[in-house]
């Protein structure tokens, strides 16, 4: 295991200063990525990660997060407590130095924390700078110390107090309570419980045997996480709604001061889901550790397949083929002083030596696993061969589509009513359910910038369909040609012909099903469209309410109730209530005015805030596993609105 210094070594001498704090309030986005609500989550993560650093060093076992009614966010850990003795050079306490100087902390000497989530060291000082008010309490050697700050500046020198007011009940520990500055976070800083859960749950998987508790005092709700299985628990969670092909494969090893953990398992799906971490940082953009893993897996699968005569000499299985249906977690722990990330947000590991270390260790591991578990090896090779066969068929189908779908407009689908505008940023396309609604939309649209593509019936469920089958489905093929950006490995995002893609279906059960099928296609095959914010859902009205000469369109049951409640008690007008079951029931003017006019319409933008959760939801709703879907429906039945 990676070693760490003991409590007696952790003193003011461990604290190193790189530069002052002044730039933070001037350019906060440089330090936390954004001043939206995402920036507040980042601040929470920075404080939580300080407690996690103590856990990684073996000193903390409990971390509590409290969301207060007054807007304060509090994090308490039972670690050693930030040092409180004076730093001679600066004549202030180590705590004050950590809280008021940028890049001051115990991570820079390379001794206090052998493993740490922080490299850039923004941590507590940046959170302090961006807080209207912050309280820091430390308990060490049976004594409690306290200091408060206003917009990063101390309100008084560090002082000893009788007891902790923030709630340190442990023998030692640190508590930080901060109120984000509303002049910085102008969009608000009210964290969602679910968002906090997600951040804490991810960390809990990586720090086994540490108990995380979230207490939301706003609604008096508590939730805890404790995983003793580490990344194996995470792997099982990621794969829980899929049909696995074998038992999880797990590797743990160490080279010098670098620890490597890998867990992987194939399922019968067609999607790849590989997560990578460095210390407690989710490296969403991957990096050298992930490259090493992928290279080793491809090499080892090919080596075994050739050794067994499954693949002839000269032939090979591609990297994409070896990762189809793969769920994996790659986790590196290493000295914080040696970490190299690409960019301030720490989402891509840059250490070049890590790739070779991962490859070398995993080559030996995979070779041994395949030799000792031939049944598992055959399952994996069989899956990869199927993926290769499907890829070749998909390439032929895709090439055929692209040959027929020249992007000059001459061979666009005949049923597409294109717009006159050629600038994609000013163009939008409505994917409309049925010819009837398509006819109304074509007549009612603003043909200058609005295109209409009608779909006939329900499209193919592409959740587990290979690309050749997807592209052989005419409605999907027409959609791919209309969008113009290609698909699979030939995607050219710059050729996307519309920067607003709007799904417009009937407000009934069939319409919602068709909408889900379209969303599944985009999520599994054109995810970049969603990630770049180009996919929307139109919101047609549910009712037209006529009261005398007044007409009102309402978009929800609650809105209908409020409108009727507002008007009915005050007069005896005759009320005519018309429920729109389908878009085709509206004439072209009504459809445009209520659903398509940029001045009056309501649209929902589709975002992927949690890719792992989205992956699981699509697997549950659109996959072939009935029990998880039944459980999902039963647990969410109370939220359903029946339209009988």
CB 464 within 8 A of CB 269: yes
Q: Catalogue the active-site residues.
A: 433, 506, 508, 510
Residue 125 contacts residue 100 (beta carbons within 8 Å): yes
**Is residue 200 a contact partner of residue 212, using CB atoms and an 8 Å limit?**
yes
Q: Is 151 helix (H, G, I), strand (E, B) or coil?
A: coil
399 is written with which tokens? 């090439």
| Rounded distance between C-alpha atoms, residue 544 and residue 320, angstroms | 51
| Nearest to 278, CA basis, from 204, 335, 201, 352 | 335
Q: Residue 11, Cβ neighbours under 10 Å: how many?
A: 16
Helix axes 231-238, 193-206, angle to 10 degrees: 130
Task: Quote the radius of gyration of the chain (alpha carbons, Å).
Answer: 29
Cβ–Cβ < 8 Å for 467, 397: yes
CA distance 439 to 313: 57
* φ, ψ for residue 136, nearest 5 deg: -120, 130
CB contact set of 167 (below 8 Å; sequence gap of 6+): 64, 66, 74, 76, 175
In the DSSP assignment, the letter for residue 267 is B
Widest distance between CA atoms in the chain: 86
- Which residues are bridge partners to 249 per DSSP? 264
With b for 16 or more beta-carbon neighbours within 10 A and e for fewer, the 208-233 pattern comes to eebebbbbbeeeeeeeebebebbbbb
CB 616 within 8 A of CB 628: no
Hey, CA dihedral for 625, 626, 631, 632, is it positive or negative? positive
Nearest CA among 507, 457, 471, 501 for reference residue 483: 501
Token pair in block for residue 507:
């407000």
Counting beta carbons within 10 angstroms of the beta carbon of residue 593, is it exposed (0 to 12), middle (13 to 18) or buried (19 or more)?
A: middle
Residue 93 pairs in a beta bridge with: 86
Structure-block tokens of residue 29: 């986005």
User: Could you tell me which residues come within 8 angstroms of residue 267 by beta carbon, excluding any fewer than 6 positions away?
Assistant: 239, 242, 243, 244, 245, 325, 327
Q: Provide CB contacts within 8 A for 558, sequence distance 6+.
A: none
Nearest-angstrom CA–CA distance, 53 and 57: 6
Q: How far apart are CA 229 and CA 226, in angstroms?
A: 9
Give the DSSP per-residue string, 343-384.
TTTT-SB--HHHHHHHHHHHHHHHHHHHHH-HHHHHHHHHHH
Q: Virtual CA dihedral for 544, 550, 556, 561, nearest 10 degrees?
A: -120
């Amino acid at each position: 295991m990676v070693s760490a210094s003991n409590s007696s070594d952790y003193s003011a001498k461990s604290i190193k200063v790189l530069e002052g704090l002044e730039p933070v309030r001037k350019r906060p986005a440089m330090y936390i990525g954004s001043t939206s609500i995402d920036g507040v989550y980042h601040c929470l993560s920075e404080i939580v990660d300080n407690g996690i650093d103590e856990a990684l060093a073996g000193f903390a076992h409990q971390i509590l997060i409290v969301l207060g009614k007054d807007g304060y966010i509090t994090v308490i850990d039972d670690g050693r407590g930030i040092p409180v003795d004076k730093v001679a050079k600066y004549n202030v306490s180590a705590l004050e130095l950590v809280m008021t100087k940028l890049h001051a902390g115990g991570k820079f000497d390379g001794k206090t924390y052998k493993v740490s989530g922080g490299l850039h060291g923004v941590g507590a000082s940046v959170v302090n700078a961006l807080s209207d008010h912050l309280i820091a309490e430390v308990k060490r050697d049976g004594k409690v110390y306290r200091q408060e700050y206003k917009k990063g500046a101390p309100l008084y020198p560090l002082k000893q107090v009788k007891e902790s007011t923030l709630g340190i009940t442990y023998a030692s520990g640190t508590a930080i309570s901060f109120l984000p500055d509303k002049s910085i976070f102008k969009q608000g800083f009210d964290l969602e419980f679910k968002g906090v859960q997600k951040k804490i749950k991810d960390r809990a998987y990586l720090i086994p045997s540490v108990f995380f508790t979230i207490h939301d005092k706003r609604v008096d709700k508590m939730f805890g996480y404790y995983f003793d299985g580490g990344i194996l628990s995470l792997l099982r969670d990621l794969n829980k709604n899929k049909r696995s092909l074998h038992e999880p494969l797990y590797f743990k090893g160490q080279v010098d001061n670098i620890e490597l953990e890998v867990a992987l398992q194939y399922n019968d799906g067609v999607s790849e889901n590989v997560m990578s971490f460095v210390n407690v940082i989710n490296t969403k953009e991957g990096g050298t550790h992930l490259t090493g893993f992928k290279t080793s897996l491809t090499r080892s699968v090919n080596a075994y397949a050739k050794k067994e005569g499954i693949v002839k000499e000269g032939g090979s299985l591609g990297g994409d083929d070896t990762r189809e249906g793969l769920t994996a977690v790659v986790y590196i722990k290493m000295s914080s002083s040696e970490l190299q990330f690409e960019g301030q947000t720490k989402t891509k590991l840059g250490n070049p030596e890590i790739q070779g270390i991962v490859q070398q260790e995993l080559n030996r591991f995979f070779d041994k696993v395949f030799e000792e578990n031939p049944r598992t090896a055959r399952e994996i090779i069989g899956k990869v061969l199927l993926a290769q066969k499907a890829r070749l068929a998909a390439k032929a189908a895709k090439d055929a589509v692209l040959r027929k779908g020249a992007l000059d407009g001459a061979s666009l689908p005949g049923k597409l009513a294109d717009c006159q505008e050629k600038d994609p940023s000013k163009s939008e396309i409505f994917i409309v359910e049925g010819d009837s609604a398509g006819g109304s939309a074509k007549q009612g649209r603003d043909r200058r910038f609005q295109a209409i593509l009608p779909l006939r019936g329900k499209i193919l469920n592409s959740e587990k369909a290979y690309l050749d089958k997807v592209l052989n489905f005419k409605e999907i093929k027409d959609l791919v040609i209309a969008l113009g950006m290609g698909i699979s490995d030939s995607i050219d995002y710059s050729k996307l012909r519309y920067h607003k893609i709007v799904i417009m279906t009937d407000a009934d059960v069939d319409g919602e099903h068709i909408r889900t099928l379209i969303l599944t296609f985009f999520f599994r095959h054109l995810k970049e469209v969603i990630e770049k914010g180009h996919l929307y859902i139109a919101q047609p009205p549910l009712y037209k309410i006529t009261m005398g000469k007044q007409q009102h369109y309402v978009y929800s049951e609650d809105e209908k109730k409020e409108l009727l409640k507002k008007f009915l008690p005050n007069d005896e007008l005759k009320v005519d209530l018309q429920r729109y079951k389908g878009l085709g029931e509206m004439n072209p003017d009504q459809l445009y005015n209520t659903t398509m006019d940029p001045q009056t319409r309501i649209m929902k933008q589709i975002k992927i805030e949690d890719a792992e959760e989205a992956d699981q939801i699509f697997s549950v709703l659109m996959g072939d596993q009935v029990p998880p879907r039944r459980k999902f429906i039963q647990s969410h039945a109370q939220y359903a609105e029946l339209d009988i």
